[in-house]
Structure 1
Amino acid sequence: MSDTPTTAESPSVSRKIWRGVKWLLLALVLYFVWQQGAELYAEQGDTLTGISIDPLWLVLSAACYFIAWLPSVWFWRQLVLSSGEQVRFGPVARAYYCGHLGKYIPGKVSVLLIRATLLKDFGVRVSVAALTAAYETLAVMGVGLVVFLSLIPVVLNAEQVQQWPEWMQSVQARPWLVPGLFLLALFVSLPLLSRLLNLFAKKFTKSDVEATDSAPPAAFSLRLLYAGVLLFLVSWTLHGLSLGLALASINGAGLEWQEWPRWTAAVSAAYALGFLAIFAPAGLGVREGLIITILAGSALIGPANAFVAALLIRIVSFASEILAAFVLYYSFGKSASGEDDSVQSAADSQSIDSL
């Protein structure tokens, strides 16, 4: 009997310790970003205060950000359909973009809960919606991480490369060799990655989303995963363009197209590693720090513009998510049961007319 209180209290104590560690890590990251900003302002205060922003570029950046997530919506819907459920693209987009707002709540589970709950209104099982949402999230973030790693040689400056061994410098002389090898390795390893994604998706949802109905399928089509990866590559380049458009708004700089690989590397690193930083809601601080670090390495961008761009893309992405969630929520707010009722009413009306 004496062991019972200890057993009951230990999870609570460990949970409190882990919560404290998460808040400490978040505070350290935010302090690091704040310190970067303070040092930058001390060095280039006049430059920062003299910066002007063109809002038209930010509108284009927000639109590009919205479009960049559409491949993920398509992929998630295909996963749901392959699980035996039937749902239109609109309700899936509604659940997906509304789910974005859940990442601002500490922990990563709120995103899945929101998406699964909203799809439940359209007749999709909670277990299916949650598992497929987790699978999609892990897949798109995994591709983002590969994109970042493959673009590291492209964004390094000449001074950094000179410190490398000769054989690594020869590789750097062919800037698209490393990205090509990374992408080749990604596609060759997809069969194994497919099993891992299924395993992690189940683990990710096992204790966080209640599933009272029958379990969804254990695995998803490998062909679908290949198609998803191709679309995710397009998605990350569009996210990079969204960041480039935000940069273009600063002092009327316009688009420097040769920096597109750097934009893409910055965004993919920020989102993928920000997702892994479970202590930071929406990757707060982690994203900004990575974007600043990667963009500041370019002579065409510089530290001041990199700092402002990191803040702008956060504002732009949040505004785009809020607007998309609001419009889609009320545009596709009719549940599956309501649609069934309207279909039945129409059928009854036709029967009466035939009489």
Structure 2
Amino acid sequence: MSATAAANPVKKRKSTLRRVAEIVITAAFLAYVAYAVSKRWSEVQGVIGDLSVTAIALSLVGSLAAVWCSFLGWRVLLADFGSHVPLTGAMRIFFVGQLGKYLPGKVWPVLTQMRLGKAYQVPGRSSAAAVLITMFITLGTGLLLTAVVLPLLGGQAWDDYWWTLFTVPVAFVVLLPPVLNRLLALAMRLARREPMPQPLSARGIGLAVFWAVATWLCYGAHLWALLLDLGAGGSDLIIRSVAAFAGAWSIGFLLAIAPAGLGPRETALVVLLAGSVTEPVALVAALISRLLMTVADLAWPAIALLTDRKRRRPVVNTPDIDTVPDSTPAAAATE
């Protein structure tokens, strides 16, 4: 029996065990959330009844805006690598590709975007690097925001998530252009791939960080609209909302066993909000937030597919980063 044939059963067993672990752990988190809701169902039911259509609509708008800002950050990085894709094509690659995050593991959005990017002549390594760096910048800025505001959250937030403070220096160093470009070069060598078409610039990384922060502000507004309508108050509620959501998302992301952070994110959000609102309010906000974010994640791909006229236009490689290409006369003509 060859070494390859002998290795295949081992790989299959590991894959099966990994999938079983993913299902079990995700189910455990979901069971915890379900238990917390059922334990206080009478209170939760009353809180849900207090939500207004206006608050839900405003929260949905915040979620849609957050996803759009994330898209702009990814597009900046893709352009910095030298691939300028038309707006509708970029929307199709990013939004449809992001549906892969609802599958177990973090590799599916990367693989899907690589496949979709081929239709627009985007090198596979550029697609993979752009989405991975977008994830890292989103995670890094989210943890940074959480670490800065964590002492204000009160409750068990500090006891459970004090370790986020250690991410501050790591995220700062890794996001420096020389460091990030060297890490990319090393990754390409280890993967035995060609070098990146061109290195990332300080301007490109800076713009990506800007859009990541804008993403968190929009997500914070999305959560704030729900909490405010449920009776929460305080001049710093918006700050608490941004930090709590950023921390919950980041924790859900780090627990890669759960698709789209399902379960761990809601659990963390309840803990991070414990010092700001009552548990029933936190539970309702976490559950409605998940529902509205799912709607936003499904709405953008639908919009992208409707607006993309399936024209496979060539990619234009220029040294400039065009963050809003449809604002120029030339771009307007192509759209």
Q: TM-score, normalised by structure 1?
A: 0.75
SS at match of 2:273: helix
8 Å CA contact 2:150, 2:157 repeated in 1? no
Deviates more, 1:133-142 or 1:301-310: 133-142
Query: Is residue 246 from structure 1 mapped to residue 232 from structure 2 by the alignment?
Result: no
Which position in structure 2 is the counterpart of 1:260?
Answer: 238
How many pairs were matched up? 311
Indicate whether 1:312 and 2:288 are aligned. yes
Preserved contact between residue 223 and residue 241 of structure 2 (Cα < 8 Å):
yes
Residue of structure 1 equivalent to 2:320: none
Deviation string, structure 1 residues 146-167 (Cα, Å, up to 9, x no partner)? 211222112125x999x9xxxx
Equivalent position to 2:80, from 79, 82, 88: 82
SS at match of 2:135: helix
The answer to whether the aligner puts 1:291 opposite 2:269 as a matched pair is yes
Query: 2-side partners of 1:304 and 1:80: how far apart?
Result: 42
Deviation at 1:14, TM superposition (A): 1.8
Structure 2: state its 5+ residue gaps. 317-335
Match of 2:76, as an amino acid? Q
Stretches (4+) displaced over 6 A: 181-185
* 1:306 CA drift (Å): 0.6
Structure showing greater Rg = 1
Question: How far is the alpha carbon of 1:46 from its aligned partner?
Answer: 4.4
The separation in 2 between residues aligned to 1:223 and 1:76, in whole angstroms, is 14
List alignment gaps of at least 5 residues for structure 1.
164-177, 341-355
One-letter code aligned to 1:325 = P
One-letter code aligned to 1:198:
L
Larger RCO (alpha carbons 8 Å, 6+ apart): 2
Kept in 1: contact 2:72–2:211 (CA 8 A): no
Partner SS, residue 83 of structure 2: coil
Instruction: Answer yes or no: is the 8 Å Cα contact 2:81–2:198 preserved in 1.
Output: no
Q: Distance in 2 between matches of 1:22 and 1:81?
A: 35
Structure 1 residue 259 displacement after superposition: 1.0
Q: Secondary structure at the match of 2:236?
A: helix
Distance 1:140 1:196, change over 3 A: farther
> What is the letter of the counterpart of residue 48 of structure 1?
Q
Amino acid at match of 2:153: V
Distance 1:189 1:4, change over 3 A: closer
SS at match of 1:22: helix
Q: Share of identical aligned residues, percent?
A: 24
Query: Over residues 154-197 of structure 1, what are the superposed CA-to-partner deviations in whole Å (9 max), with x where a residue is unaligned?
Result: 2125x999x9xxxxxxxxxxxxxx99x98788556632762576
Offset of 1:122 from its aligned partner?
Answer: 2.4
